[in-house]
Structure 1
Amino acid sequence: MAFKMTRPTRKTVAPASSAVADTAHEGDIVGALGTIKQHDHGARRSFWQRLRTFLVIMGPGLVVMVGDNDAGGVQTYAQAGQQHGTGLMWTLLLLVPVLYVNQEMVVRLGAVARVGHAKLIFQRFGKFWGAFSVADLFLLNTLTIITEFIGVTYALRYFGIPDYLSVPAAAVLLFTVVAGGSFRRWERFLFVLIAANLVLVPLAIMVGPDLGRIGGGFLPQLPGGLNSDLLLLVVSIVGTTVAPWQLFFQQSNVVDKRITPRWMRYSKADLWAGIVIVVLGAVAIMAVTAFGLAGTGAAGNWGDNSNAGTVASALASSPHAGHVVGTLFAVLLLDASLIGANAVGLATTYTLGDVFKKRHSLHWKISQAPGFFIGYGVVLAVSAGVVLIPGFNAGLITQGVQILAGVLLPSATVFLVLLCNDKAVLGPWVNTVRQNIAAGIIVWALVLLSLAMTASTLFPKGSAWFPDGISSAQWVAFFTVGAGVGALGGLAVLLASRVKARKEAAATARCLGGLDPEQVEDIDEDAQDALSRTERHALLRADRDTWQTPALDTLPRPVFSPLRKAGMLALRGYLAIAVVLVVITIVQMATGG
C-alpha cells in the first residue's frame, strides 16, 4: 500500500542563534582581491561573475595547501628525489584523495558551524576528548614552526647571512604581518609569498628533466625494495603532505574569512586549486634533485648531515644545475619556510583562542585581541629561540617532525569524521555514505602506515625475531592482511549502520500508525515524486545554503558507546607509544645506533 503525499514548498529558516563565538567572524567577506557583502544573494550567471567571486573567496584552501610545501616539505621531497630519483612520485598521487577528503570536511565544518575545529571538539565531546585532540597538536605545531625557522637558517646561510640575524628578522616580519589588524593585508602578503613559488617553474626546467622518467615515476614502485628506511621516508612524505595542523588552520581561516554555506562551491574550488599547486610543487622539487644531482656524489647519498641547505649547495656545484639553480632553490626554501611558519603559527593561536574562549581573528587589532597576538608572538619567539641554541641538531628534528605528523594524523582524522557525522552540527551537510567510506579507507590506511612505522622501530635489523630486518615479502603480507581486516571492519560498520537505519524507520512507522518500514520508505519516495527533479534540487540547495549550526550550548552532546569509547582510548594509548618510538628512532639516527 502506497500513500501519496505532497511536500509543500517551504522556506528554510536558519536557527535563531548561531554558534558564532567571535563577532569578528560575522560580516562581509573581505579577501585579498575584493569584497562580498554579507547579504549578497545575487546570482552569478556569467563566467566573469563567477570568476570574480572565486577570486574573493580564494584563500583558505590555497594557503593551507601551499603552506603544506613548507621547509619540512621541501626537505622531504628533496630527500626523496636525491635518494630515489623519480621513484616515489607515485605517492603524491595517492595523497590527492586524502588531501581532498580531509580538507573538504573541514571546509564544510567551518562554513556551516562558523567556529574553529578545536571549539567544536570541546563543545561536542567535552574537555577530556578536547584535551586529547589538541595536546599533541600544540607540541607538533611548535616543533613544526621550529623546522620552519630551521629552513630560514638554511636558506639565508646560502647567502652568507648568519642565524642570529636571519631568525629574529623572520620572526619580526611574520609577527608584523599578522598583527596588522587587517585580514585583507595578511592575505595579500600570503598571496605574494605564494606567487614566489613560481620559481619552481624555471628551477624544474633548468635541470633538464626527462619527461618520460617523470611519467614513469607515477607508476607504483619500491626503489630498492620495501625496507624500514623506505617506509620511514614514505611516512615522512605522508606527514609533510597531510598534517594535523591543516585541519585546524583551514577551518578557523574559513570562519575568519566569514565564508558561509552559500559559497561552498567556490571554497571547494579554492581547495582544488591548492591541491593542484601542492602536488605539482612536490613533483617539481623531486625532479630538481633527481635530475639536478644525477651523476654526482650526492645522488643516492642522503646522510645524517644532509638537509635542504646542503641540497642547495649540491645543486650549485652540480654540472646539471649550477649556481642559479642553487640560488633559486634557496629562495624557494626561504619562501616555503615563511608561508609554513605563518600558517602553522596561526593554526596554533586560532586553537588557543578556541580552547580559552578568547577573541581570535585577523580582523582585530592587538589592543582588541591581545591574547591572540601575544600567543602568536610567544609561539614564534620560543620556536626561534630553540633554533638559536648552540649545537642544535636541525636535520634530525626536521625529519622527526614529518614522521610524527604522519603518526598523529589518524587521531585527528577520526575526530574530523565524527564531527562530520554529527547531524546536530551539520544538518543537511553531514557526510554521505560514500564520504564516510572514503574517510574510513583513509583513516585505516594511515593507521596501517603508523603501525608499520612502529613495527620497524620495535624490530630493527639485528633484533631477535627479525635478525635481517623485516623483509619486503613480510611487509607486503602485513599490508595485505591489514587491508583485509580493514575491509571486513568496514563491512561490519556498514551493516550496523543499515540495521540502525531500519530501526529508526520502524520507530517512525509506529508513530505513523503502525505502518511497516517499507511503507514509510514508499511515503518518502512518493513525496519526492510529487516534485520535479529540478524542484527537489532547488529545495535541497535552499536548505543547504541557508542552514547554519545553532548555538552549540543548546545542543545535546553525542554519547560515545562503550565500544567507541574503548576504541578511542585504545587509539590514544597506541599513539602515546608510537610517539615514544618516533623519539627512539630519531635518537638512534642521531647516535648511529
Structure 2
Amino acid sequence: MRYQSKPPHLPEIIGTAVHRLREHPLARIGPGLITGVADDDPSGIATYSQAGAQFGLNMLWTMPLAFPLMAAIQSMCALIGRVTGKGLAANIKAAFPPIVLRGIVLLLLVANTINIAADVAAMGEVAELVTGFSRHLMTVVFVLATLALQVFVPYHRYVFFLKWLTLSLLAYAAVLFTVHVPWGEVALRTVWPSFTPNAAAATMVVGVFGTTISPYLFFWQASEEVEDMRGTAPLLRDPQAASRELRRIRWDTWSGMLYSDATAYFIILATAVTLHVAGVTDIETAAQAAGALRPLAGDFAFVLFALGILGVGLIGVPVLAGSAAYAVCEAMDWKWGLERKATDARGFYGVIAVSVLAGLVIQYSPLSPMKALFWSAVINGVVAVPLMVVIIMLVSRKSVMGTFTASRGIVILGWIATGVMGAAAVMMMMPG
C-alpha cells in the first residue's frame, strides 16, 4: 500500500508563504525604500502627471537633477537618526533655540494635514473610478483602514507590509509597455529639453522639486532609523557597528531615492506620450490623470495607473501622519513610536488620529483639496529651506555626530539642494 502524505492545511501554506516573504531581501531593506515610495504619494503623482501633460517630454530632465539632491538630504537624516539614536526634532531641540523647532513643527503639522486631505481625496476618486462605489465612502474606508493599521499593528509587522506595498510603483513602469514610446526623443529631451522659460515653466519646475524634496520625509526617515534600532545602541555608543550600518544606510537610502525618482520619471513620461500627445494638458488630480488615460491607452493602462495611486496612497498617508507625530512628540518630550501600544503613547497616536481625521473632514468642507494642496506646497517650500540648513548644520557638528559627521561630498550636495529649493521657494512666491 503506497503511503500518501497529508496535504498541508491552509494555515501551514500561509505560514510558509509569510516566512518566505520575511526572508526575502526586500523585507530586510530599511527606511530608505518606504521613504522614497512615500515621496510619490497621490498628490505627487498629480504634480508629475501635470508636468508630463503640459510640457510633454520637456520636464524629464528634472528627475536626473533631483535624484542626487534628494538622496543627499535623506542620507543626512538617516545618519542623524542612526548615529544619535534620536529623531530629527529631538536633535533640533537640543541644538537650536526653542522657537526654531516650534515654528518648523507647527508648519509641518499644518502642511501634512492638508497633504493627507489631498491624498485621501485622490484615493477615493480613483477607487470610485475602479469600483463604482461612492468616492466619499471609499475615502472613509481608506482613512479608517490606515488609521487602524498604524494604531493596532506593531511597527515590525506593519512595516513588513509597507515594504511589499512599495512594489505598487512598478505599475507606472508597466504602463509604458502598453503605449508607444519614442525612446530616441525621450533620451534627447532628458538631457536637452525644449521649452520656453516662462512663468508657467518656472511654476512647474518649482512644483516638481517641491514635491520631490519634502520636509515630512526628513522627519520620517530619521525617526524610522531609530525605530529600526530595536534596542541596539546608537553609533555614538557602539562605533564598532558603524562600518556595517553606514554602508547599509548609503545603499538603502540611495537605492530608495533612485526607485522613487525613476518612478516619477516614468509618470512624467507616461502622461507625456499619452495625455500631452492627445492635447490633454490640464491635470489637477491623480484620479483625473488615471481617468484620462483610459480612452487613450486602454483599460489595462488605466487599471495599472489607478492601482499605483492606491498602493502609494496606502504608504503616503501613514508616512505623512507618522512624521508629524514624531516631530510633535519629540518636541513635547512625549513617548512615541509605532512599536509602542496605543495606551503607552497616547499623545503620539493622538497626533496621528487627529491628522488623518482632519484630512478626512476637509473632504466635507468648502475648501477644495487641490487648493489645499497648493497651500501645502507653499508651506513645504517655506519650511524646507531653513530645515535643510538646520540638517546640514546638525550633520556637520562633531558635538552632535561625534566622528560620524557627513562627508564633504554629501554636504556639498546638501547645500546645492538647499540652493535649488531656496530658488524654488522664491519663484513660488513671486506674483504672476
Fold conserved between structures, TM > 0.5: yes
Indicate the residue corresponding to 1:329 in structure 2.
Answer: 305
Q: Check 1:222–1:405 CA distance in 2 against 1; reply closer, same or farther (3 A cut).
A: farther
| 1:302 alignment partner in structure 2 | 282
Once the 2 structures are TM-superposed, how far is the Cα of residue 454 of structure 1 from its aligned partner?
Answer: 2.7
Greater Rg, structure 1 or structure 2? 1
- Secondary structure class of the residue paired with 1:221: coil
The residue that corresponds to 2:238 in the other structure is: none
Q: Deviations over 1:168-199 (max 9, x none)?
A: 11111111211234222111221232122222
Q: Does 1:408 align with 2:383?
A: yes
Q: CA deviation at 1:241?
A: 0.6
Q: Deviations over 1:376-409 (max 9, x none)?
A: 11111111111132x5423333344335423431
Other-structure match for 1:372: 348
Letter in 2 for 1:210: P
Letter matched to residue 132 of structure 1: G
Q: How does 1:558-569 map to 2 (within 5 A)?
A: none
Q: 1:227 to 1:408 in 2, by over 3 A?
A: farther
Cα distance 1:372–1:180, how it changes in 2: closer, same or farther (>3 A)? same
Residue in structure 2 matched with residue 166 of structure 1 by the alignment: 138
Distance 1:434 1:314 in 2: 43
Distance 1:156 1:195 in 2: 19
Give the Cα separation in 1 of the matches to 2:418 and 2:318.
Answer: 28
**Pairwise CA distance, 1:154:** 2.2
- 2:14 paired residue number: none
Aligned ranges 1:198-347 → 2 under 5 Å: 198-223=170-195, 225-258=196-229, 260-261=234-235, 262=241, 263-298=245-280, 301-302=281-282, 306-318=284-296, 321-347=297-323
Confirm or deny: 8 A CA contact 2:111 2:377 kept in the other structure.
no
- Structure 1 vs Structure 2: percent identity of aligned residues? 23
> Aligned equivalents of 2:312 and 2:78: distance in 1?
23
Report the count of equivalent residues: 400
Residues 315 and 84 (structure 1 numbering): CA distance in 2 closer, same or farther, change over 3 Å?
A: same
* Partner AA of 1:69 in structure 2: D
* Residue in structure 1 matching 2:424, options 430, 441, 449: 449
Aligned to 2:56: 85
Single out whichever of 64-73 and 400-409 deviates more from structure 2. Answer: 400-409
Q: Which amino acid in 1 is paired with 2:162? A: L
Check the 8 A contact 2:69/2:417 in 1, yes or no. yes
Post-superposition Cα deviations, 1:294-320, rounded to whole Å, max 9, x if no partner, equal: 54241xx316xx3222222211111xx
Which range moves more in the overlay, 253-262 or 279-288? 253-262
Runs (5+) with no aligned partner, structure 2? 1-20, 236-240
Instruction: Determine the C-alpha separation between the residues in 2 that align with 1:272 and 1:432.
Output: 15
Normalization by structure 2: what TM-score? 0.87
Q: Pairwise CA RMSD of aligned residues?
A: 2.0
Match of 2:120 in 1: 149
CA contact (8 A) 1:57 1:270 kept: no
Alignment of structure 1 residues 6-17 onto 2, 5 Å? none
What one-letter code is carried by the residue in structure 1 that aligns with 2:127?
L
Q: 1:59 to 1:161 in 2, by over 3 A?
A: farther
Specify the alignment match of 1:534 in structure 2. Answer: none
- The answer (yes or no) to whether the contact 1:85–1:291 under 8 Å persists in 2 is yes
Higher relative contact order (CA 8 A, sep 6+): 2
Alpha-carbon distance between aligned partners in 2 of 1:143 and 1:397, rounded to the nearest angstrom: 6
Determine the C-alpha separation between the residues in 2 that align with 1:158 and 1:137.
31
Q: Check conservation: 2:27, 2:163, Cα contact below 8 A.
A: no
Residues 290-348 of structure 1 show CA distances to partners (whole Å, capped at 9, x for unaligned) of 112254241xx316xx3222222211111xx0122122212211222221111111101
- How far apart in 1 are the matches of 2:162 and 2:26? 14
Deviations 1:534-586 (A, max 9, x none): xxxxxxxxxxxxxxxxxxxxxxxxxxxxxxxxxxxxxxxxxxxxxxxxxxxxx
Q: Does the CA contact (< 8 Å) of 1:163 and 1:388 recur in 2?
A: no
Q: In structure 2, do the counterparts of structure 1 residues 433 and 310 end up closer, same or farther at CA, with 3 Å as the change threshold? A: closer
Aligned 8 A contact 1:142 1:383 in 2: yes
Which residue number corresponds to residue 133 of structure 1?
Answer: 104
Q: Which residue is 2:66 aligned to?
A: 95
CA distance in 1, matches of 2:344, 2:278: 56
Matched, 1:381 2:370: no
1:239/1:404 contact within 8 Å kept: no
Q: Which of the pair is proportionally richer in helix?
A: 2
Unmatched segments (≥5 aa) in structure 1: 1-31, 35-51, 461-593
Structure 1 residue matching 2:63: 3-state secondary structure: helix
- TM norm structure 1: 0.64
Q: Go from structure 1 to structure 2 and tell me whether the alpha carbon gap of 1:201 and 1:446 turns closer, same or farther (over 3 Å shift).
A: closer
Q: 1-side partners of 2:364 and 2:154: how far apart?
A: 31
